[in-house]
């Protein structure tokens, strides 16, 4: 009923516990015959060395903590998959938890990870506050993923693995403007949040770089929920019926744009071109298939885990790791309709 310990195995094999330990931890030399006897005894007793005993002594748990806003989100899920993938090759296990974007939960999770003495921490910060920076003081490798908290810790820079969102947005904007669009809407992150939205900034910058006037009225903001995204999209598209294209800064606003366009009987892409950030499964399935900016979520997770688990050398002011995005062109964007075309419809 109760798990066998190293003592049981030692007794059964007629050896000292030190020998059993050497057999299982691989360190030190053990005679071939002895090793066999130990292994046999262990098999008989169904012995699994206790990680908690070991961790206490070695002061390493072999686990990394991973906190994401929501495992149900396809981007997060891919990040998790990447981390799991890498952790496996490194022989680490993964403690997962979901912050739900709530700073309070985030802090709880950070505490839990600290108690559990994880060897590394990977966090997709919620943006407000930073319960994670405490780990750098205790020497636990910490890696931010996807974004960095607004208020950074004072001293050393925390490593981060990010998608090159600015470049991704730029590529989408250039593509749309190249198709002749001048009045492009943007569905972005909430304004009240403290951190200025990188994507919105990139959107504005890309437009003005191309000589297209930027209109504050063209950007709508929503919290990361279906309802909020839908409301924002509906608001934007109704308010500005002159829009010929919309760029959604995530899959939720992208989904909302598709639904609202359908609702308003706008043909895609004849009346309205739609592009979004995050190339998730349904983008290909929609009708027409959606043009999207792909973020290498899985690679991001993989990379972050390497950094967190290997406890990489504390690098100086070298910036965050930026992974390239890719514009996946599908059928949802077309040439900008002339005003006459739109009126006809």
Q: Which stretch binds DNA (CB under 7 A): 6-14, 138-146, 215-223, 254-262?
A: 6-14
Q: Taking the alpha carbons of 211, 215, 221, 227 in that order, is the dihedral positive or negative?
A: negative
Q: Which stretch binds a copy of itself (CB under 8 A): 134-142, 170-178, 187-195, 312-320?
A: 134-142
Q: Which stretch binds a copy of itself (CB under 8 A): 15-23, 152-160, 281-289, 323-331?
A: 281-289
Tell me: does residue 72 bind a copy of itself (CB under 8 A): yes
Q: Which stretch binds a copy of itself (CB under 8 A): 7-15, 161-169, 209-217, 253-261?
A: 253-261
Question: If 0-12 CB within 10 Å is exposed, 13-18 middle and 19+ buried, where does residue 308 land?
Answer: buried
Alpha-carbon distance values, 140 to 29, 197, 218 (Å): 32, 29, 44
Strand order in the sheet with 219-221: 219-221, 184-188, 245-248, 273-277, 291-294, 326-328
**Alpha-carbon span 88 to 110, nearest angstrom:** 22
Restricted to residues 30-69, the positions that interact with DNA (CB under 7 A) are 30-31, 33-35, 47-50, 52-54, 56-59
H or E stretch covering 256: helix 251-263
Q: Which does 33 bind (CB under 5 to 8 A by kind): a copy of itself, DNA, none?
A: DNA
- Assigned token pair, 112: 């839990």
**Shortest distance in whole angstroms from residue 241 CB to a copy of itself:** 22
**Shortest distance in whole angstroms from residue 234 CB to DNA:** 53
Residues 6+ apart with CB under 8 A from 294: 278, 279, 325, 326, 327, 328
**Shortest distance in whole angstroms from residue 17 CB to DNA:** 5
Closest by Cα among 338, 293, 304 to 146: 304
Q: Which does 18 bind (CB under 5 to 8 A by kind): a copy of itself, DNA, none?
A: DNA
Q: Which does 70 bind (CB under 5 to 8 A by kind): a copy of itself, DNA, none?
A: a copy of itself
Q: Which does 325 bind (CB under 5 to 8 A by kind): DNA, a copy of itself, none?
A: none
**Alpha-carbon span 99 to 97, nearest angstrom:** 7
Give the residues lining the site for a copy of itself (CB under 8 A): 1-3, 46, 48-53, 55-56, 61, 63, 70-72, 74, 77-78, 80-81, 84-85, 88, 93-98, 111-112, 114-117, 134, 137-139, 255, 258-259, 262, 281-282, 285-287
């Amino acid at each position: 009923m109760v798990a066998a310990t190293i003592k049981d195995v030692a007794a059964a094999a007629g050896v000292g516990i030190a020998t059993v330990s050497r057999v299982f931890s691989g360190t030190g030399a053990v005679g071939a015959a002895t090793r066999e006897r130990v292994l046999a005894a262990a098999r008989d007793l169904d012995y699994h060395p206790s990680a908690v005993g070991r961790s206490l002594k070695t002061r390493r748990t072999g686990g990394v903590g991973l906190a994401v806003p929501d495992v149900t989100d396809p981007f997060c899920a891919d990040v998790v998959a990447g981390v799991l993938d890498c952790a496996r090759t490194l022989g680490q296990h993964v403690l997962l938890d979901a912050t739900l974007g709530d700073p309070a939960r985030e802090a709880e999770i950070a505490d839990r990870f600290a108690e559990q003495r994880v060897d590394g921490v990977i966090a997709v910060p919620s943006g407000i506050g930073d319960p994670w920076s405490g780990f750098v003081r205790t020497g636990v490798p910490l890696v931010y993923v996807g974004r960095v908290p607004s208020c950074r810790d004072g001293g050393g820079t925390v490593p981060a693995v990010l998608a090159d969102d600015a470049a991704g947005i730029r590529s989408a904007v250039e593509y749309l403007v190249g198709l002749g669009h001048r009045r492009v809407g943007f569905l972005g992150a909430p304004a009240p949040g403290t951190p200025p939205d990188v994507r919105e900034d990139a959107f504005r910058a890309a437009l003005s770089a191309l000589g297209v006037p930027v209109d504050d009225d063209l950007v709508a903001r929503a919290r990361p929920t279906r309802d909020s995204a839908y409301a924002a999209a509906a608001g934007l598209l109704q308010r500005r019926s002159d829009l010929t294209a919309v760029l959604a800064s995530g899959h939720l606003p992208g989904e909302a744009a598709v639904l609202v366009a359908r609702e308003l009987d706008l043909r895609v892409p004849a009346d309205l071109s739609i592009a979004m950030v995050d190339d998730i499964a349904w983008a290909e399935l929609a009708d027409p298939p959606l043009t999207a900016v792909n973020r290498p979520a899985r690679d991001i997770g993989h990379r972050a885990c390497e950094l967190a688990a290997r406890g990489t050398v504390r690098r100086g002011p070298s910036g965050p790791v930026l992974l390239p995005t890719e514009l996946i062109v599908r059928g949802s964007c077309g040439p900008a309709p002339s005003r006459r075309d739109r009126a006809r419809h």
